[in-house]
A and B are shown apart, each in its own frame.
Chain A
């Protein structure tokens, strides 16, 4: 983990409530897709955890939804603003176990961390199918970006206004995947847990005090004992989840 002051390069609106922020600075602390960063928000006491959507040596992309006061402040950021950020948090996804065909299932603001993961799996020569789930057509983001990486992309909407009508789990029956990765709201993760035939990795959220393992604010029980979502997670393998 590192503490860095990062500069905002761009902060653009993707949908009514979803924004993409690109930050520049030293990103050497970020090692893995599925990690998260913790941003200090001027005027607010606790940092805000946001997943790494994409990164390279000196750029970091975050995609966030405005849900409360902190993310509202973020949405007003302009190029040149700076943020105090803790980088390199959490374990991230393990791609070594994916086999030849990875299935990525993302719901809403659970989509962002799958982006860098998708890039990595494809660079490792694996076939990737991505299923992105949203409530309705005007909430959709990043369909084209996943396509551009070379993934096979499907989109589901709950109201059927775009793509396949239903949930992500309604769009996977015919896919011949060897492993899966998923991130999204907990009801979706539970549905994925039941609907999948292989092992896979789940990314979880929790209210956090520190984000780096010090406060025990984010603990959960697993089949392998108590774990901290921020430090031992946020990614957990199917076999350790107690559902």
Chain B
């Protein structure tokens, strides 16, 4: 018997597998396909203060071993999440859920977290700091250690739940940003968000995506994600939730060896809606194959 349990920022999970924000909605579409209580948890769609339609379409472009999306954080807004999504979710998901939060100002991050803080279903906050700061000339909070630290400070003030900061890979020095977040009291780091990318249509000779640029995800970015998790693991002591292109149980183990305590699986859900269940099911056998008894033992094992 192998042990797949891991401890993430004070909460024990049956296994480290977490569907990533933006690829799993609020769980409903997948709960119709399988019992999603087999998951460690899941991270719900990035939620803002107000409802957002997001970007114009086309929002999706295919790439070799991945895709680009420019959904633009479409979500129903935090009030609808509290009044509708969370009560619905209660019917089919009985574990603490990860609340992915996004904001375009420090006030917005704080407001969304404050509203969600009293919801007992929520186990962790995952704060997406890749959003542009409307008061900072549109620069993403995630691109400077100071701006990232300001978000941590604003959020930690309004909640006692564990706060995991989700880092953008589109930076020159991700380690300095992770350290700044830890110094302000972040309870964990999750990484990586999508990488900025583009595709151009040869027929129209224009970018495929209406927003021109979008976030590149999928197996093509796995080596970048592994490298960044490896670097951040050496610099911080809080747990890391690793993601970027994970497709199967072997990938999960590889990411944990780089330094992740838990992992998120994103884009893979879109092309195989059952992939997270398959990973959870396959994990024990793959652990046996590589002589792993306790998943916790391999965290950062590559260092």
The residues of A with any CB-CB pair to B shorter than 8 Å are 1, 3, 40, 44-47, 86, 206-210, 212-221, 226, 231
Bin the interface of chain B by size: 20 to 34
Please name all residues of chain B whose beta carbon is closer than 8 Å to the beta carbon of A86 when the two chains form the complex: 273
30 contacts between A and B (CB under 8 A): A45-B62, A45-B67, A45-B218, A46-B62, A46-B67, A46-B271, A86-B273, A206-B58, A207-B58, A207-B208, A208-B60, A209-B59, A209-B67, A209-B270, A210-B23, A210-B271, A213-B29, A214-B23, A214-B30, A215-B71, A216-B74, A217-B57, A217-B60, A217-B71, A218-B60, A219-B57, A219-B59, A219-B71, A220-B57, A226-B53
A214 contacts B273, C-beta separation under 8 Å: yes
A98-B24 Cα distance, complex, nearest whole Å? 36
B66 contacts A45, C-beta separation under 8 Å: yes
Known: A207-B57, A207-B59, A215-B71. 13 other contacts (CB 8 A): A40-B271, A44-B62, A45-B65, A45-B66, A45-B67, A46-B67, A214-B24, A214-B29, A216-B25, A217-B57, A219-B53, A219-B54, A226-B53
Q: Does B92 contact A (CB under 8 A)?
A: no
Q: Does B61 contact A (CB under 8 A)?
A: yes
| Interface SS of B by simple majority | loop
With A45-B65, A207-B59, A209-B69 as known contacts, state yes or no: A214 contacts B270, CB within 8 Å. Answer: yes
B233 smallest CB distance to A (angstroms): 29
Q: Does B140 contact A (CB under 8 A)?
A: no
A210 contacts B58, C-beta separation under 8 Å: no
A212 contacts B57, C-beta separation under 8 Å: no
A214-B28 Cα distance, complex, nearest whole Å? 9
Please name all residues of chain A whose beta carbon is closer than 8 Å to the beta carbon of B208 when the two chains form the complex: 207
- Residues 12-68 (chain B) with a chain A CB within 8 angstroms: 22-25, 29-30, 32-33, 45, 53-54, 57-67
A50 smallest CB distance to B (angstroms): 15
B187 smallest CB distance to A (angstroms): 28
Please name all residues of chain A whose beta carbon is closer than 8 Å to the beta carbon of B62 when the two chains form the complex: 44-46
A210 contacts B54, C-beta separation under 8 Å: no
Please name all residues of chain B whose beta carbon is closer than 8 Å to the beta carbon of A3 when the two chains form the complex: 272-274
A40-B22 Cα distance, complex, nearest whole Å? 21
Greatest chain B CB density within 10 A among A86, A217, A220 is at A217
A156 smallest CB distance to B (angstroms): 26
Please name all residues of chain A whose beta carbon is closer than 8 Å to the beta carbon of B69 when the two chains form the complex: 209, 215, 217
With A45-B67, A214-B23, A214-B25 as known contacts, state yes or no: A1 contacts B33, CB within 8 Å. Answer: yes
B60 contacts A207, C-beta separation under 8 Å: yes
By Cβ-Cβ distance, the 8 closest A-B pairs, closest first, are A210-B270, A217-B60, A207-B58, A216-B74, A46-B62, A213-B29, A207-B60, A209-B60
A87 smallest CB distance to B (angstroms): 12
B29 contacts A226, C-beta separation under 8 Å: no
Please name all residues of chain A whose beta carbon is closer than 8 Å to the beta carbon of B54 when the two chains form the complex: 216, 219
With A45-B65, A46-B62 as known contacts, state yes or no: A210 contacts B269, CB within 8 Å. Answer: yes
Greatest chain A CB density within 10 A among B64, B74, B274 is at B74
A45 contacts B64, C-beta separation under 8 Å: yes
B212 smallest CB distance to A (angstroms): 14
